[in-house]
Every structure is written in structure tokens, then in C-alpha cells.
Amino acid sequence: MKHKNDIHILKKVLLIIIMLFNFACYSSAQESNQNHQLEILFIGSSYFGTDNLPNIFYELVTNSGKEVYFDSYIPGGLLLDDHASSSITEEKIMSRKWDFIVLQGVGSILAYPDYYINHPVYPAIITLKDKILNNCPSTRIIYCMPWAYEDGMTWLGWADTYVDMQIKIYDKTIKYSNEIGFTIAPVGWAWYRILEESGYPLHYLHVRDWNHPSIKGSYIMACVIYSTIYINSTSNNPFHSSLDESEASYFQEISSSTVLDDIELWKITPYFDTSSTGNFKSNGNSDILHQNFPNPFSSVTNIPFNIKQYSFVEINIYDLFGRYWSNIVCEYKNPGNYIIPFNSEGLPNGSYFYNIRTNNCSQIKKLQVIK
């Protein structure tokens, strides 16, 4: 009996050693990933240019301790169909192997395509997508969901208010994203939440022309784009632009939750691939466990993974001593991409491992609970 107990203890010690070794490999790769300088191109018009949106985004990124290179082509008055036929825009696209290209939309021509027939959005995005992916197939395309005019379309004598117009913009953005295939930065939806909570104050997120963003609106836009790209909150970011701290913190919170609470709806997927670390064993057709997000987290995080073929999948949580804490998945899964929410209720503050086991592989990564 003593011999069996010794073997059991030895197995457990070996498991802990393997987990700690893989964590060391993971930490090195994760640090390298986080220090990777993303290259991002902004394509738009004066909506991006009014408060120099790309620079606000840059300040948020650098103040979070990350590095980024960005460029932009945002001349006033140029709509996406203009960009689709512009040789200058094409040169910008082809100038680098961009990690992300961010497209800025305009609410009126998106919400009412049957009225603004001279500036069709749908074919413009398809044309730009083709040019972008022909230049670099790995580039992620992000379309900023536009915001409605402050007075909706009533300035034309129509019945549609701001709310009516924003709902149409939301519906069209989701429809086009599903059909064309692009990630959504839900800028207009964050604006809508903030304006609804504050009672729709006049010229709060808009300036006095009823459509361009105020500095508050531009700051929210930058926060939303940040969370869409990095899949992380801007909360507690020290860069507030010209806003006071309390207002900037409120905008950070709403912008981040708008993005992170519905990442599947916005078609957001992790950019950094840490699948090459933390493998116990794998083969050429191995499944992939991605890093959870957000991380660290206080209550709920998301665990993404990919299954290459029909397989039994088990994901468990262990502490640093190899003690089992929780089961997240324990069932057969069809091939596909999955994002499983995990609630940390019952877990004390600290670092944990989460381990996936399938028919093809076993992988491990680390998560951190902060309450």
C-alpha cells in the first residue's frame, strides 16, 4: 500500500513539475507577444480626423505599456466608396503587412442605402477587403459601427430620431459583418448606451454640427477600438485626453463593457496565438487552447479554443500546487472555434492553470483571479 501511495505522490509531483515548466515557457512567450508592436492603419474621413482619433488611440496603447505603430489616411469628406477606388488608399494598404486595418463608417449612408445610392457601403467594404487581404491575408479588418446624427434624420423632415437611426445602423452593421466577414468595433453602440444613461444631453458626444464627434465622442471611439483590438479593458488607463478623470473613467468602463460583453456578436477573436507554448503532447493535427480574456479578471473571463476534429474535450482549473478546483468543459465537441465563459466564484485571489485535454493533445495556460 505504501508503494502505491509513493507512486501516486511521485505522479503528482511530476505533474506539478510539468505544469511549472510549461508555465515558464508560456510566460516567456506571452511576454514576447505582449511586447509585439502591432502595426495598424486607420482609413476614414474627418470623423477620425476631428480630434486626431489615431493619436488618442496611440496614447491609450502606450499608456497601457504596449507598443504600436500606426498610420492613417483620413482626409475630410472621403467615404468608404471613395477609398475603395482611391490609388492613395491602395498605396497605404500595400505599404506594410498590417496587423489591423480600421475602417470608419458614416451612419447615414449605412442606415439608408436606398436613399444614399451614390455611396454604397456594402460593395465598398468588399472591395477594400479584397485589396487588404490580397496584400496580407492575415490582416484583421475592423469596421467601426457608426453613430447616428444627434437629430436623427428629422433635419430632412423624416420621422427617424437619433434612436431610430442608431437601431438601423446597428442592424445593418451586424448584417454586413455576418455576410462580408469583418470584426465590429461597436462605437455607435457605446455612444448609444452613454447617451441613453445620461438622458440624451445636447452636444455631449456630438459637436454643434449634429454629426461630428466631440472630444468625448472621439475618446469613447478610441477606447472601443482599443478593447476591440487588444480584447482588454481600458479601465484605469491613465490617459484621459482633455477629460476629467471621473468622466474618462466612466467612458472607459462603458466602452470596455460594450466590447467585451459581446465579443461573439462583434466577431472578435484573439490576435495573439500562444498555442505553441504549454503543450504536454501534440501531433500535426493538434487542437489549440488560447489565452483567456480578460486576464487578470475579477468575476468572469472567456476561454477560447479550437477543435480540429470531433473529440471528447475536458477543461479543468488547477492551482499552482496541481490541486483540482473546477471543471469548465466535459463533453464531446464538433470541429470548430469555441469561447467558453468561466465564473471565478469560489476561487480565491491568485494564479491558476487551466488545462485542455482532447483526443489529440493536452495543453495548459495560466489565468489570474483578482478580486
- Looking at the structure, tell me whether residues 235 and 351 fall in a common domain: no
- Looking at the structure, tell me whether residues 202 and 303 fall in a common domain: no
- Looking at the structure, tell me whether residues 197 and 297 fall in a common domain: no
Specify if 351 maps to a domain. yes
Once rounded to an integer, what is the mean pLDDT over residues 316-333? 86
Specify if 32 maps to a domain. no
As given in the structure block, the three cell numbers for residue 221 are: 471611439
Specify if 184 maps to a domain. yes
Q: Is the pLDDT of residue 29 over 60?
A: no
302: helix, strand or coil: strand
Note the pLDDT of residue 105.
93
| Best mean pLDDT range from 237-241, 277-281, 362-366 | 237-241
- Looking at the structure, tell me whether residues 240 and 308 fall in a common domain: no
- Looking at the structure, tell me whether residues 129 and 230 fall in a common domain: yes
Note the pLDDT of residue 309.
86
- Looking at the structure, tell me whether residues 145 and 248 fall in a common domain: yes
Quick one: pLDDT band at residue 283, thresholds 50, 70, 90? very low
Q: Is the pLDDT of residue 117 over 50?
A: yes
Q: Which of 90-94, 199-203, 350-354 has the lowest mean pLDDT?
A: 350-354
- Looking at the structure, tell me whether residues 96 and 136 fall in a common domain: yes
As given in the structure block, the three cell numbers for residue 125 are: 467594404
Specify if 25 maps to a domain. no
Cα 320 to Cα 115, 153, 317, 365, distances in angstroms: 60, 58, 10, 11
Residue with cell 483540482: 324
Q: How far apart are CA 278 and CA 317, in angstroms?
A: 15
Last residue of one domain, picked from the residues 260, 292, 307: 260
- Looking at the structure, tell me whether residues 182 and 278 fall in a common domain: no
Q: Is the pLDDT of residue 272 over 80?
A: no
Specify if 265 maps to a domain. no
Q: Which residues pair with 351 in a beta bridge?
A: 368
- Looking at the structure, tell me whether residues 254 and 277 fall in a common domain: no
- Tell me the backbone φ, ψ of residue 166, rounded to 5 degrees: -65, -35
Q: How far apart are the first and last CA of the chain?
A: 42
CATH at residue 239: 3.40.50.1110
Quick one: pLDDT band at residue 77, thresholds 50, 70, 90? very high
Task: Give the domain extent around 348.
Answer: 272-369
Q: Is the pLDDT of residue 81 over 50?
A: yes
Q: How far apart are CA 77 and CA 262, in angstroms?
A: 32
Q: Is the pLDDT of residue 69 over 60?
A: yes
Note the pLDDT of residue 9.
52
Three-state SS across 44-71? CCHHHHCCCHHHHHHHHHHCCCCCEEEE
Q: Which of 55-59, 216-220, 243-247, 352-356 has the lowest mean pLDDT?
A: 352-356
Once rounded to an integer, what is the mean pLDDT over residues 283-292? 70
- Looking at the structure, tell me whether residues 238 and 341 fall in a common domain: no
- Looking at the structure, tell me whether residues 153 and 234 fall in a common domain: yes
Residues 6+ apart with CB under 8 A from 317: 324, 325, 326, 327, 328, 342, 347, 352, 353, 354, 367
36: helix, strand or coil: coil
Tell me the pLDDT tens digit for each residue of 133-151.
999 988 999 999 999 999 9
Tell me the pLDDT tens digit for each residue of 149-186.
999 999 999 999 999 999 999 999 999 999 999 999 99
Q: Is the pLDDT of residue 340 over 50?
A: yes
Once rounded to an integer, what is the mean pLDDT over residues 5-24? 52
Specify if 178 maps to a domain. yes
As given in the structure block, the three cell numbers for residue 342 are: 468561466
Note the pLDDT of residue 154.
98
Residue with more model confidence, 11 or 279: 11
Displacement of CA 179 from its chain's centroid (Å) = 19
pTM: 0.70
Helix axes 215-230, 245-260, angle to 10 degrees: 40
Q: How far apart are CA 198 and CA 175, in angstroms?
A: 28
CATH at residue 286: 2.60.40.2550
Last residue of one domain, picked from the residues 236, 260, 284: 260
Residue with cell 438622458: 199
- Looking at the structure, tell me whether residues 361 and 279 fall in a common domain: yes
Residues 6+ apart with CB under 8 A from 65: none
Q: Which residues pair with 102 in a beta bridge?
A: 42, 142
Specify if 64 maps to a domain. yes
Specify if 15 maps to a domain. no
Q: Which residues pair with 133 in a beta bridge?
A: none
Last residue of one domain, picked from the residues 260, 288, 319: 260
Cα 190 to Cα 7, 163, 177, 208, distances in angstroms: 56, 13, 18, 20
Once rounded to an integer, what is the mean pLDDT over residues 325-338? 89
Structural domain count of the chain: 2
Quick one: pLDDT band at residue 281, thresholds 50, 70, 90? very low
